[in-house]
Amino acid sequence: MAGDMVDAAELTKCYRGKATPAVDGVSFEINEGETVGLLGPNGAGKTTLMKMICGVTPPTSGRIRVLGRDPVEDPVVTKHGIGAMHQSGPYDQMLSGLDNLKIATRFRGLSWRETEPWAMEVAAYLGLTDALQRLVFQLSGGQRQRLQLVRALLTIPRLLVLDEPSAGLDVAGRHQVERFVHWLRAEHGVTVLWTSHHIDEIERNCQRVLVISQGRVLRFAQPRELIREFGGSGLVVTTADQVAAKVVAEWADGAGYLATVDDTEVRIANAGDHDVLPALVRHCSDAGVAISSFGTVTDSLEQVFLRMTEKG
């Protein structure tokens, strides 16, 4: 059913002393089983929006429902329905990772005996079994980040909220987290709301993307729809040598295109339709320089995001 997981209507959050709202009249729906990416530049309101979904902070106005309930007023939702991994965790640095998990379990009103098998399975998957015995201050940034994910998953949530889950992780760690979330979704039907400044991560993993800027929704659509709507395709021209590359780049500049040169390769933005090519080939022939090959490249979600938020 549409919006059965999250239903936000005209959601607004104004912080005291701030002239403009952090979240400003945002409406959207998330369906059960979806993985939704939340993208926005720094300060766009992503964390504030996630906090309202998790019931951590109440909206100033508007309405938010998670699983049909008000997340601020209904602790059942926040304690059992939502697993949230926030950017920083209130750890006791002088206790082990394991003891921190036990405290979090108690805080959520759960029994460690019942929680332990699943929590240890998650920790093992994330390569944390040994690290859990060490004091938190002895863990690396990447291990602490993965410990946050275990803590968000003390139960199998209906909705998993991930606020920059890959911050501080190396490439292997990022892929491990991605594989794990994919498995959760496939095996347990967990709905995921995922924010990241690694836009390739969102493009790989999310079915729809909510793009916000200055607290407002710019667009909520599938990555490929965003690329179709806001993206362009560029021309990649490989030349015989750097002199030829310079000739191509100067011609592109003169024709009003943005050209970037990497050794003998020239990328000409928004010139993917082949109308450009005959004029370029003619120019190169007149100038006596050779083109070795050419092809087209389509914008990535990252390029589309930059374009959308620059307009923002």
Ligand X SMILES: Nc1ncnc2c1ncn2[C@@H]1O[C@H](COP(=O)(O)OP(=O)(O)OP(=O)(O)O)[C@@H](O)[C@H]1O
- Specify the residue, 199 or 248, whose C-beta has the smaller distance to ligand X: 199
Sheet holding 233-239, edge to edge: 259-262, 265-268, 233-239, 291-298
- Specify the residue, 122 or 193, whose C-beta has the smaller distance to ligand X: 193
Report strand pairing: 233-239 vs 259-262: unpaired
Q: Determine the Cα–Cα distance for residues 7 and 44; give it in Å rounded to an integer.
A: 20
Q: Closest separation between CB of residue 51 and ligand X, Å?
A: 8
Q: Determine the Cα–Cα distance for residues 215 and 247; give it in Å rounded to an integer.
A: 44
CB atoms closer than 10 angstroms to residue 6: 23
Q: Which amino acid is at 286?
A: D
Q: Closest separation between CB of residue 161 and ligand X, Å?
A: 12
Q: Determine the Cα–Cα distance for residues 115 and 122; give it in Å rounded to an integer.
A: 11
Stretch that binds ligand X, among 3-11, 35-43, 75-83, 90-98 (CB under 6 A): 35-43
- Specify the residue, 33 or 41, whose C-beta has the smaller distance to ligand X: 41
Residue of the chain from 2, 42, 275, 311 that contacts ligand X (CB under 6 A): 42
DSSP 244-257: HHHHHHHHHHHTT-
Size of the site for ligand X (CB under 6 A): 11
- Specify the residue, 45 or 142, whose C-beta has the smaller distance to ligand X: 45
Angle at 267 between CA 263 and CA 269, to 5 degrees: 155
Asked if 19 touches ligand X (CB under 6 A), the answer is no
Q: Closest separation between CB of residue 91 and ligand X, Å?
A: 20
Stretch that binds ligand X, among 36-44, 117-125, 244-252, 285-293 (CB under 6 A): 36-44
Task: Spell out, one character per residue from 44 to 73, where the chain touches ligand X: x when CB under 6 A holds, - when not.
Answer: xxxxx-------------------------
The kind and range of the H/E element at 238 are strand 233-239
Residues of this chain that interact with ligand X (CB under 6 A) are 15, 18, 22, 40, 42-48
